[in-house]
Structure formats: C-alpha cells, structure tokens
Structure 1
Amino acid sequence: MIGLPKSTEFNKRIPKQKFYENMEISSVIKQIFVEQIKMIYWRNKIAVSTTNLATGHDVTEIEVFEIRLNHSELDERVLRQIDREIPYHILFLLEYERKYQAWIGYKEIAVTGNKRIKLGGYYHTDWENGDKLSLRMEGLSLDAVYENFVRQIAGDKLKKETSDESLKESVAKDEKKKQLEKQINALTVKIHKEKQLNKQVELSNQLKILKKKLEVTS
C-alpha cells in the first residue's frame, strides 16, 4: 500500500486486548479500544535486519501498525497509549471502509533516566484510497527515514526554514505556533465577551502582540 520493501513485511495480527489487558490504563482508554478499534495488524518492521539502512542514533526500529476502525475517527489517546508502551518509533495506518490515513507522532526515546519516552504532537494525512496513500522510505539511516516519514505526513507544518534545521527544531516551532493560535483564539473570545471598553482595549493590545509573535513563528 505505501510501497515499503517486501523484506520489511511482518503481517501479524495482534489481538487488541493485548494493548489494554496487561497495561495499567484507565477504564476510559480501555473503552475506546473496545468501541473504536476492530483489529490491529503489525504490518512492517523497518530495521537494520530487514533493510540495508544504517542504524540510527535515536531510531533503532520503525514499526508499522495498521489499525482497522469501527468508525471514521480514533481518539488520539489510543495512539499515545500504544506509543508509550512500545519502545520503538511507530507509523500508524488507520483504515476505515477501505480508506486510509497515515499517523505518526514525534517521539523521543531517552537512553537513561526514569522517563524513557517523550511524546510530542501527532501529524496525519487526509483520508485516501489505499493505492493513493504513498510514503517514500527516504534516507540512508533509520533516523533519516523516520524524519522523512514525519515531514511527509506533516507537510507544510514542518517545512524547514534552513537546510540544517533538525526535526526537533521544526516540531518545537510547530508546537509554539499551535500554542500561540490557541491563545489568540481564547483571547478573541474573551474580547467579544468583555463589556468594559478599557478592558477591551487592554485585551486587544495583548492580541496584537500575540499575532505579531505568530507572524514571526509562521
């Protein structure tokens, strides 16, 4: 479907119960697994042993999971739960009525320390027919392939400003942009609700500052 080498194919069905029966998760997340997910397949394993790629400094394997859904939406908390439990980088393919979305989260795995996994935001494609969803496995190392997957899926959201801009820097800029947009939306609502003119002016000045910051970030 996404044109990965045959040597990476694994194609093993994983009972969805395995993702919540032996994990300490809330009843809410368990219910989401039960209601929203139909089946889970481990489709590919991208590693040194299955490709001619060099091992990465940060990425040692990339797993490809296909999640077949009962509805056209999946609560992002499910992906976060799976990502937290599996110490590898994961590319998710969501399937519903023969259409697919690719999802991937920015994931850092620490070598030392108590908190081994740090998850950032998730990026995804639009729904596409299986034959139209295409991801290129580009790069000479697992680090490079993972970065290119993230950038392909995110599109313009993670567009580089300089050739040496790292994925971590691009993600940090995008997160900052999202925070500013959230603050701008909240402040705009607050201004519309405010009855006192002097407070409206004060809030409007704050809004101008935030919008200028957003212009610099974008």
Structure 2
Amino acid sequence: MIGLPKTTEFNKKIPKQKFYENMNISPALKKIFVEQVKIIYWRNKIAASTTNLAPGTNVTELEVFEVRLNNPELDKSLLKQIDKEIPYHILFLLEYQGKYQAWIGYKEASNSTKNSFKVNGYYHTDWLEEDKLPLKLEGLNLDTVYENFVRQIAGDNLVKQTSDEDLKESIERDEKKKMLQKQIDKLQNEIRKEKQLNKQIELNMKLKELKRRLRILYEN
C-alpha cells in the first residue's frame, strides 16, 4: 500500500478477535472492537531487513495496519491500546467505503518497563483516496522515516520552527498550543456569560495574555 516497496509487503489478515482475546482490555474497549472494526490487515513491515534503510536508534520496525471500519468513526482509545501492546511503531490506515485516513501517534519507549511504550497524541489526515494520502517513504534510517510520516500526517501542526528542531520538540510545542487554545476558548466562553463589567475587564486581560503566549509559540 501507499507505494511502499514490495519487499515490505506482509498482507496478513488478523481477525479482530486475536486482538481483544490476547490483550488486556476492558469490556468497553472490546465493545469498540466488535462494533466499530470490521477487519484488520497487517499490510507492511518496514525494517532494515525489508528495505535498504539503516536501523534507527528509537525505531526498529514500523508496521502498517489497515483497519477496515463498519462506520466512519473510530474511538482512538482502540488505536492507543494496540500501540501500547505492540512493541513497534505503527502507521494505521483506516478504511471506510474506499476512502482512507492515515493515523499515527507519537510513540516513545517508557522508562517503567522493558519493551513498554507510552503513546501521546495522535495525528490524522482527512478521508482521502489511497493515492491522495500525503505519505512518502523518506529518510535514510527508520527514525527519520517514522518522523517524516508523523510530520506528513500532521501537516502544518508540526512544521519545524528551526532546522535542528527534533520531533519531540515539535510535538511538545504543538501540545502547548493546543492547551493554550483550549484555555482561550474556555475563557472566551466565560467572558460571553459574564455580566459584571469589572469582571469582564479582568477576564479580557487574562485572555490577552493567553493570546500573546499562543502567538509567541507560532512565531518562535
């Protein structure tokens, strides 16, 4: 899929039961598997053994899973659970009625347990034809291939501010922007509801400061 080398093709159908029977999941998550997922294919295995790429320091393999859905919505907690259980980085391609979304999470090794990962926020594309997905295999090693997939899917959200900014720094800056925007939205809602003029003035001063901090994140 997505123009990857034939040497990476795996194309193994994995019954969804295999996932929820072999993972430590809650009844609620099992229900998501049953109701939202039709079938899962392990499409590609991107590794030093299947490509001419060098191994990465953090990324040893990158798996491509195609998840065919029963409806166009998928609870991302399901993707997060799969990511936590499988000790490799994963690119998810969600399929519904012939259209695709690419999803990928920022996944890094956890300090608590060997072969354990923590997954932060996810990025995804709109629903597109497969050949319109903004995905290209770019890089000389698996670390850079993974980073480029994340940046390609995230688009403008993870544009580098400096040439030497690494992926983790970009992710952290984007998380700060999201947090500030959430605070701004909440404060604007409070201002609309506030009847007292002095309280409105106080809230507007706080709003101005939050917007200033957000603007700095976009500029720097």
Normalising by structure 2, we get a TM-score of 0.95
How far did 1:195 drift?
2.2
Q: Which residue of 2 aligns with 1:133?
A: 133
Alignment of 1:42-191 (within 5 A): 42-110=42-110, 112-114=111-113, 116-191=116-191
How far did 1:104 drift?
0.5
Establish whether residue 208 from structure 1 lines up as the match of residue 171 from structure 2: no
2:58 aligns to what SS in structure 1?
coil
Q: Which residue of 2 aligns with 1:14?
A: 14
Unaligned runs of 5+ in 2: none
Write the distance in 1 (CA, Å) between the matches of 2:113 and 2:85: 14
Q: What's the C-alpha RMSD, in Å, of the aligned pairs?
A: 1.2
1:9 maps to a residue whose letter is E
1:131 aligns to what SS in structure 2?
helix
How far did 1:134 drift?
4.4
Write the distance in 2 (CA, Å) between the matches of 1:130 and 1:142: 23
Q: Deviations over 1:70-93 (max 9, x none)?
A: 001111111101111111100000
Normalising by structure 1, we get a TM-score of 0.96
1:20 aligns to what SS in structure 2?
helix
Contact 2:134 2:152 in 1 (8 A): no
Unaligned runs of 5+ in 1: none
Identity of aligned residues (%): 69
How far did 1:133 drift?
2.3
2:99 maps to a residue whose letter is K
Q: Deviations over 1:7-48 (max 9, x none)?
A: 000000111112212222222111111111000000000011
Q: Which residue of 2 aligns with 1:24?
A: 24
Write the distance in 1 (CA, Å) between the matches of 2:81 and 2:159: 28
2:100 aligns to what SS in structure 1?
strand
Write the distance in 2 (CA, Å) between the matches of 1:134 and 1:191: 40
2:144 aligns to what SS in structure 1?
helix
2:186 maps to a residue whose letter is A
1:55 maps to a residue whose letter is P
Write the distance in 1 (CA, Å) between the matches of 2:188 and 2:13: 48
Q: Say which is worse superposed, 6-15 or 24-33, in terms of deviation.
A: 24-33
How far did 1:54 drift?
0.6
Write the distance in 1 (CA, Å) between the matches of 2:131 and 2:90: 21
Write the distance in 2 (CA, Å) between the matches of 1:199 and 1:86: 51
Contact 1:2 1:134 in 2 (8 A): no
Q: Which residue of 2 aligns with 1:4?
A: 4
Write the distance in 2 (CA, Å) between the matches of 1:137 and 1:147: 10
